[in-house]
């Protein structure tokens, strides 16, 4: 998230310049400081979108270049990092993290994606699954990947699982969306 987004998200949260209840009640200025003043979202907020929402609202809008009022999802070339480094780079999430990821090819003129990291690689665990929206209309594809430490084919399977979401063809060169 860039500084402009954070500032815009927190600027309207202060109210209309009224004196807060604690300050009016005689609480010291130090005690009246709001520890949540710079939070991106309010306490209690949980980011738990459905697959349809991930594709239709977040991914499609990002691919179309439309902005969000609050940027909750980081744009990141996640294959430059190992999975245990990713939680610290996410804007939001406790057990699941979300990223927009540029499509990277293993070979310049090929379709095969490059999913290698410094310590291992992400391996697909099966066929793509079609995600359907209203009236069973195809809206996107989902692929599940597992992280392996080491080099293929002798890598050691880990417990890190990632779901890749993408728009259906012909938008194959567009950014991808990942949930880890």
Write down the pLDDT at residue 24.
42
113 close to 106: Cβ distance less than 8 angstroms = yes
Burial of 4 (0-12, 13-18, 19+ CB in 10 A): exposed
The predicted structure's pLDDT at residue 9: 22
**Residue-level pLDDT, tens digit, the chain, 180 residues:** 332 222 222 222 333 333 344 444 444 555 556 666 666 667 778 888 999 999 999 999 988 888 888 888 999 999 999 999 999 999 888 899 999 988 777 767 667 788 999 999 999 999 999 999 999 999 999 999 999 999 999 999 999 999 999 998 865 555 566 776
Confidence at residue 142, expressed as pLDDT on a 0 to 100 scale: 95
Residue 147's nearest CA partner among 139, 138, 156 is 156
> At 147, is the secondary structure helix, strand, or coil?
strand
Cα atoms in the Cβ-side hemisphere of radius 13 Å centred on 2: 4
Closest CA to 131 of 62, 179, 96, 87: 179
Ramachandran assignment for 40, one of left (phi > 0), alpha (psi -120 to 50 degrees), beta (any other): alpha
Question: Domains of the chain, with CATH numbers?
Answer: 1-40 (no CATH), 46-179 (2.170.150.80)
């Amino acid at each position: 998230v860039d500084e402009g987004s954070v500032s815009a998200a927190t600027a309207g949260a202060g109210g209309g310049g009224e004196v807060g209840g604690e300050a009016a009640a005689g609480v010291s200025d130090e005690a009246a400081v709001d520890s949540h003043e710079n939070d991106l979202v309010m306490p209690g907020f949980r980011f738990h979108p459905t697959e349809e929402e991930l594709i239709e609202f977040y991914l499609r809008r990002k691919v179309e270049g439309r902005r969000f009022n609050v940027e909750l999802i980081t744009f990141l070339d996640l294959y430059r990092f190992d999975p245990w480094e990713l939680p610290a780079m996410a804007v939001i999430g406790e057990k699941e993290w979300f990223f927009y990821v540029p499509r990277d090819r293993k070979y310049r003129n090929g379709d095969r994606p490059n999913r290698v990291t410094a310590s291992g690689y992400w391996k697909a665990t099966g066929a793509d699954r079609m995600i359907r929206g209203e009236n069973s209309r195809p809206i996107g594809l989902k692929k599940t990947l597992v992280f392996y430490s080491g080099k293929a084919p002798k890598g050691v399977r880990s417990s890190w699982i990632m779901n890749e979401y993408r728009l259906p063809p012909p938008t194959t060169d567009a950014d991808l969306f990942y949930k880890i």
